[in-house]
Amino acid sequence: MTDVLRDEARADVLSVQGLTVTVRDKTLVADVDLTVGPGERVGLIGESGSGKSLTALSIIGLLPEDVHAAGSVRLAGVSHELLGADERQMSRVRGSSLAMVFQEPMTALNPTMRVGDQVAEAMLIHHTVSGRRAGRVAAAELLDRVGLPGTSRSYPHQLSGGQRQRVVVALALANDPALLICDEPTTALDVTVQAMILDLIMKGVAARSSALLFITHDLAVVATVCQRVLVMYGGRVVESGPVAEIFTNPRHRYTQGLLAASDLESAEGRLPTIPGNVPAAGQFPSGCVFRTRCSFATDTCASSPPWEGTADHGFACHHPAPSLEPAHA
């Protein structure tokens, strides 16, 4: 392999730097850095209102009109900056190199079009197949592979919620995207269906070597799906690292509280839960955004905590939980 090829192989699929999202005078997301490597599965967690969806919508260029994103979003294989790209450029990227699965499948489906035609159209637009007949055959095959044999001629309303989300996953994977973003893809579904959709997503990205950015508030899901995780609160990334490390050795007091409040740790009952609610957008305190709810807060927390830790596991907290040293014999 030449050096150039080796660099290409290492290069991140997604690189977000200094992402800040504002609406009028309110800052909703501040200074988010985030990378996803080739084939890597990265989770984004945090309570509702932390800025997870706005981060995803900024990346894929689907923010509402009055909401503005600044910073940098780069995708491997795309020569231009995604932030500020015009709609013509973004529609070329969306659905080909970059695809997204939303919480509610109907937002991604056309209610008046047969699902097979929708999948075929996605492939035709991005030239993954040539010609209508090839498109129909490829769409039927893909629907078959996502567990929906013989549904090509169905309309979305003729399918269950779980089946519709399968169609959306098929649509998202139709052009072998370099990056798939999933925003709470199973939250609206029955518990019995959730595991099957997760399995479909995992197998789909593995078969295509696609990278995955997976947004959820469900820590058990993150533990199943992701290798690395970023914890968001108040529009900021407060901690990031390998899933196993974050779950067993959280350093930021918010992460610690989040784990305590989840089913994963509650049985042990050792850690405090998070008091109070997530403030409304623009109502977070200055300095550490978590200080109005943190039982470890001191006057120092009125200033912004610097990012520290290791290259692998970083966090921004003035009074972090003690690091658990690996046990030595």
Binding site for Mg ion (CB under 5 A): 53
Q: Which of 264, 281, 292, 321 binds ligand ADP (CB under 6 A)?
A: 281
CB-wise, 43 or 305, nearer to ligand SF4?
305
Q: Which residues pair with 178 in a beta bridge?
A: none
- The full 3-state SS of 173-190, as one line of letters, equals HCCCCCEEEEECCCCCCC
Which of the listed partners (ligand SF4, ligand ADP, Mg ion, none) does 288 bind, with a CB threshold of 5 to 8 Å by partner kind?
ligand SF4
Which of the listed partners (ligand ADP, ligand SF4, Mg ion, none) does 106 bind, with a CB threshold of 5 to 8 Å by partner kind?
none
Q: Which two tokens stand for residue 178?
A: 């370099």
290 binds ligand SF4 (CB under 6 A): yes
Q: What angle do CA 267, 272, 273 make, to 5 degrees?
A: 85
Question: By rule CB under 6 A, what count of residues binds ligand ADP?
Answer: 14
259 binds ligand SF4 (CB under 6 A): no
Which of the listed partners (ligand SF4, Mg ion, ligand ADP, none) does 301 bind, with a CB threshold of 5 to 8 Å by partner kind?
ligand SF4
Query: Looking only at residues 113 through 142 of this chain, which bind ligand ADP when binding is defined by CB under 6 A?
Result: none
Q: Minimum distance between the CB of residue 230 and ligand SF4, rounded to whole angstroms?
A: 16
Question: In the block, which residue shows the tokens 């899901």?
Answer: 221
Strands 179-183, 14-23: pairing is unpaired
* Alpha-carbon separation of residue 65 from 48, 208, 256 (angstroms): 22, 33, 36
Q: Minimum distance between the CB of residue 328 and ligand ADP, rounded to whole angstroms?
A: 39
* Alpha-carbon separation of residue 194 from 43, 162, 185, 289, 320 (angstroms): 17, 8, 9, 33, 34
Angstrom distance (rounded) from CA 157 to CA 138: 22
Q: Minimum distance between the CB of residue 289 and ligand SF4, rounded to whole angstroms?
A: 8
Which of the listed partners (ligand SF4, Mg ion, ligand ADP, none) does 305 bind, with a CB threshold of 5 to 8 Å by partner kind?
ligand SF4
Binding mask 27-66 for ligand ADP (x = CB under 6 A): -x-----------------x-xxxxxxx---------x--
Q: Which two tokens stand for residue 237?
A: 């990334």
Can you say whether the dihedral through the CA atoms of 99, 105, 106, 112 is positive or negative?
positive
Q: What is the DSSP letter of 325?
A: P
251 binds ligand SF4 (CB under 6 A): no
Angstrom distance (rounded) from CA 95 to CA 85: 16
Angstrom distance (rounded) from CA 4 to CA 177: 22
Which of the listed partners (ligand SF4, Mg ion, ligand ADP, none) does 290 bind, with a CB threshold of 5 to 8 Å by partner kind?
ligand SF4
Query: Looking only at residues 214 through 243 of this chain, which bind ligand ADP when binding is defined by CB under 6 A?
Result: none
23 binds ligand ADP (CB under 6 A): yes
CB-wise, 53 or 256, nearer to Mg ion?
53
CB-wise, 35 or 53, nearer to Mg ion?
53
Contact, 235 vs 289, CB < 8 A? yes
Which of the listed partners (Mg ion, ligand SF4, ligand ADP, none) does 291 bind, with a CB threshold of 5 to 8 Å by partner kind?
ligand SF4
Q: Which residues pair with 98 in a beta bridge?
A: 94, 179
Measured in degrees and rounded to the nearest 5, phi and psi for residue 58 equal -65, -40
Contact residues for ligand SF4 (CB under 6 A)? 252-254, 288, 290-291, 294, 296-297, 301, 305, 317-319
